Amino acid sequence: MKQWLKDAVFYEVYPQSFCDSNGDGIGDLPGITSRLDYIRDLGCNALWINPCFDSPFKDAGYDVRDYKKVAPRYGTNEDLAALFRAAHARNMHVLLDLVPGHTSEEHPWFRASCRAEENEYSGRYIWTDNCFAGGDGMPFIGGEAPRNGTYILNFFKCQPALNYGYGKIHERWQKPAGDPDCRATVEAIKDVMRFWLAMGCDGFRVDMAFSLVKNDTRRKKHTCAIWREMADMLHAEYPEAVLISEWNEPRITLKNGFDMDFMLQNGGNGYDWLLRAYDGAADGEPRNTGRAYFNRDSGTGIDKFLEDWLPSYKATRKDGLYCLITCNHDTIRPAANLTADELKLAYAMLFTMPGAPFLYYGDEIGMRYRKLPTKEGGYYRTGSRTPMQWAPGENLGFSDAAPEALYLPVDPSPDAPTVAAQQADPGSLWHTVQNLLAFRHAHRDLDADAPFKVLFAPKAQGNFRPFAWRRGSLVCAVNPAGAQAELPLKLEDGVRPLFVIGMADVRGGKLVLGAQSFAILA
């Protein structure tokens, strides 16, 4: 594992919504650079920046038109290089978002592949062999190109699939992964990676990393072979650079070249039960809320999380990091289901578990999810992508533009949380996050790869549903319920709380946690 990942805490930045430096209503790279001290002082020493490349923005930048050019609305390539330099001067690392599975339909590669005459890019995308052919179970588009064929999609209609080949071949137009055209795609993406690494990028979060080879085996044999090759290149030429996958299959990814994988929200999985566990996530209208582990009165036990997370952690702990997130750009913000007090406990657990934690911009102040009309392919996700709320006043400090010119509207509520207001309040969520991250950085027992052991995780019995775990020499414990809990941990003499949210006391070797409390002991 890269040494810098041991103490890494990532901050995810949605660039169009973070900080507008030029008053056009859209966040930009100079705006991010201007806020690096804020991110560092909060306790985050690494960034993941969502796509900032040239794009028609039909899918918020995940439809790349030019992999080697910064989108003009964000600035220039030199602005991104300056951001890398400024971050490195602060001992911070920066990951970019790599989108290897598809491009925009406006990408020059795709436009060339659409031509009737054969050319260098004819095989860069997946095309059938006639204009009326189906996609062998994959979504496809026909009738929009001079070429006699239909093309396969990787996600939205605007995102034709790059050609990495097929694992199981059913049709004559499907190529094996070793075909020269498929190999050319691999080399083209390597070239993109080298371009930004040479400029100062520290690695990539890989969008839809699972989506390369079509009709692959259950464990994605051919796709994984490509990622091992990509990782070998990366680690040989840029030994400190890292790859993190959007996959949520650590037993596949961490054994095939990736340094990190995320535990992502899927309805009913362990992560969902921690923070959400409501209906309506896919349409942006949370219903039947209050059932998650960190909801005070849910009655839900930690077993729903551990049964999912723990086997994957144990199977991969020597291979890489399985990371926990507060939220991301695809997920409803946790404040939609959790109060500020509940968020404090949730973050306390997330920031003290194994792996490198990821904090989504604005979650440190409890920014709210807002039901909004779709923007750039966001649909329900649009409500988690609103402008960062820096200070009271016009546009909440995000931009000097007229309100109607903003990328998305800011929270209009009179009590909309802001950084300035919470920094002035010692009891705020922002201060809790800062204090937690400072404690993490000060204790090597909370490093990403430090030992972990479950100490106490009973099935829920009414209000009794605490959870305790060991990280090295530290004991961490949380009680999300609205009633005091006594944990029979058999603590050694002299063990005392070092960090507390709420109330914690050691009595006769047992830990007593007050209602909605968290503690770290040693």
pLDDT tens column, 457-498: 999 999 999 999 999 999 999 999 999 999 999 899 999 999
Distance CA 516, CA 344 (A): 9
Low-confidence ranges of the chain (pLDDT < 50): none
Q: Encode pLDDT of 226-249 as tens digits.
A: 999 999 999 999 999 999 999 999
- Assigned CATH topology for domain 451-521: Immunoglobulin-like (2.60.40)
CA 258 from chain centre, in angstroms, equals 15
Distance CA 243, CA 261 (A): 9
With H, G, I as helix, E, B as strand and everything else as coil, classify residue 305: helix
* CATH code, 3-99+263-442: 3.20.20.80
Are the CB atoms for 240 and 255 separated by under 8 Å? no
State the pLDDT at residue 282. Answer: 87
Domain with CATH 3.20.20.80 in the chain: 3-99+263-442
Distance CA 466, CA 517 (A): 10
Are the CB atoms for 384 and 276 separated by under 8 Å? no
**Helix runs in 351-493, H state only:** 419-423, 429-442
**Nearest alpha carbon to residue 469 among 352, 386, 384, 365:** 352
Task: Kindly provide the residue ranges of all beta strands, DSSP E only, lying in 52-112, ordered along the sequence.
Answer: 53-54, 66-70, 93-98
* Pairing verdict, β 260-262 and 242-245: parallel
State the pLDDT at residue 284. Answer: 92
Domain with CATH 2.60.40.1180 in the chain: 451-521
**Nearest alpha carbon to residue 454 among 285, 314, 293, 248:** 314
The residue length of the chain stands at 522
Calculated CA dihedral for residues 495, 499, 504, 508, nearest 10 degrees: 0
Structure tokens at 274: 């921690």
State the pLDDT at residue 477. Answer: 98
State pTM to two decimals: 0.97
State the pLDDT at residue 203. Answer: 98
Are the CB atoms for 311 and 292 separated by under 8 Å? no
* Pairing verdict, β 46-49 and 93-98: parallel
| C-alpha atoms less than 13 angstroms from C-alpha of 417 in its C-beta half-sphere | 20
Are the CB atoms for 453 and 473 separated by under 8 Å? no
Distance CA 323, CA 258 (A): 12
What totals of helices (H) and strands (E) does the chain contain, helices first?
12, 20
- The helix (run of H) or strand (run of E) holding residue 511 is strand 510-513
